[in-house]
Amino acid sequence: MQYTKLGHTGLDVSRLCLGTMGFGNASTGMFPWAIGEKPSEAVIKEALDLGINFFDTANIYSHGDSERFVGHALNKLADRDKIVLATKVFFTPTQGPNLAGLSRKAILSQIDQSLERLQTDYVDLYIIHRWDYTTPIEETMEALNDVVKSGKARYIGASAMFAWQFEKAQAVAEQHGWTKFVSMQNHLNLLYREEEREMLPLCADQGIAVTPYSPLASGRLTRDWAGETKRYATDKVAREKYNDSKDLDMPIIARVGEIAQKYGVDRVQVALAWLLQKPTVTAPIIGATKSSHLQGAVKALDLTLSAEDIAYLEDPYLPHELVGPLASAGDTKFTR
pLDDT in tens, the chain (336 residues): 999 999 999 999 999 999 999 999 988 768 888 999 999 999 999 999 999 999 999 999 999 999 999 999 999 999 999 999 999 999 998 878 999 999 999 999 999 999 999 999 999 999 999 999 999 999 999 999 999 999 999 999 999 999 999 999 999 999 999 999 999 999 999 999 999 999 999 999 999 999 999 999 988 899 876 655 666 656 666 666 766 678 889 999 999 999 999 999 999 999 999 999 999 999 999 999 999 999 999 999 999 999 999 999 999 999 998 987 777 766 666 666
How far, in Å, CA of 72 to CA of 108, rounded? 23
d(CA 118, CA 196): 34
Going along the chain from its start, the domains and CATH numbers come out as: 3-327 (3.20.20.100)
Query: Is 59 within 8 Å of 23 (Cβ atoms)?
Result: no
Which pTM value belongs to this model? Answer: 0.94
Which residues are part of the catalytic machinery?
61
Dist. CA 50–CA 291, nearest whole Å = 10
Query: Residue 49 contacts by C-beta under 8 Å, 6 or more apart in sequence?
Result: none
- H-run or E-run covering 137: helix 137-149
For residue 5, how far is the Cα from the chain centroid?
17
Task: List 87's β-bridge partners, or say none.
Answer: 126
